[in-house]
Structure 1
Amino acid sequence: MKLRLWITTLVVACLPFAVNAADIEAGKAKAAVCAACHGANGYAAIPTYPHLAGQNPAYIELSLKAYKSGQRTGGQAAIMAGMAAPLSDDDIKNLAAYFGSLK
């Protein structure tokens, strides 16, 4: 159990380095679809939707992958699963980098 926690921590700690290689401009282009709920600049106008601007890129990446794989449930998971389904791993990295770059 401790080994699993250690490995998970190591993987999460390394994700920001992988996100640095992402294409922020490509993420911005993909983010147009996200704007309907999360706002044009990552600030949601509707309180039930989270702001994505300035969010930790590793968290966004892990969340999108969890939605895509069906591991994340509850809340808006059904909607987010549909939104994440067509995204490639590169798309997810680029989106995470773009939202993480916003103030």
Structure 2
Amino acid sequence: MLALAAGNALAKGDARKGKSLAYTCTGCHGIAEYKNAYPSYHVPKIAGQNEAYLVSALTAYAKGERSHPTMKAQAMSFNAQEIADIAAYISAQTPAKK
């Protein structure tokens, strides 16, 4: 886990690589008005979100500092460079219009 934390400070994201890694994100975060079944809550859209925030959030899920089982499992499957790549790609996307 220490390597993950240290790696995020140094990792520069590659949006091209992040595109192929972020495909599972759209399964929840890319569906209009999507709500989690249990507990029931609105799943936020993340396209265009701040890159540093995305790195921070994914790293916190991976470390267990944020509690959501699905997000933790997803985040734990990536290393620091992959998290940076995903954040670079997602932050470069245009948010969907309502």
Cα distance in structure 2, aligned partners of 1:56 and 1:100:
6
Letter of the aligned partner of 2:22 in structure 1? A
Q: 1:81 maps to which residue?
A: 72
Structure 2: gaps (5+ residues):
1-8, 36-41
Count the aligned residue pairs: 79
Q: Which protein, 1 or 2, shows the higher relative CO under an 8 Å CA cutoff with sep ≥ 6?
A: 2
Q: How does 1:19-58 map to 2 (within 5 A)?
A: 21-39=12-30, 44-45=31-32, 46-47=34-35, 48-58=42-52
RMSD: 1.6
User: 1:95 corresponds to which letter in structure 2?
Assistant: I
Q: How does 1:55-66 map to 2 (within 5 A)?
A: 55-66=49-60
Per the TM alignment, residue 36 of structure 1 is displaced from its structure 2 partner at its CA by 0.7
TM-score between both structures, scaled by the size of structure 1: 0.70
4+ residue stretches of structure 1 with deviation over 4 A?
A: none
**Normalization by structure 2: what TM-score?**
0.73
Alpha-carbon deviation of 1:33?
A: 1.1
Match of 2:3 in 1: none
Flag the structure with larger Rg: 1
CA distance in 2, matches of 1:78, 1:87: 15
Letter matched to residue 19 of structure 2: K
Q: Which runs of 5+ in 1 are unaligned?
A: 1-14
Identity percentage over the alignment? 34
AA of the residue aligned to 1:26:
K
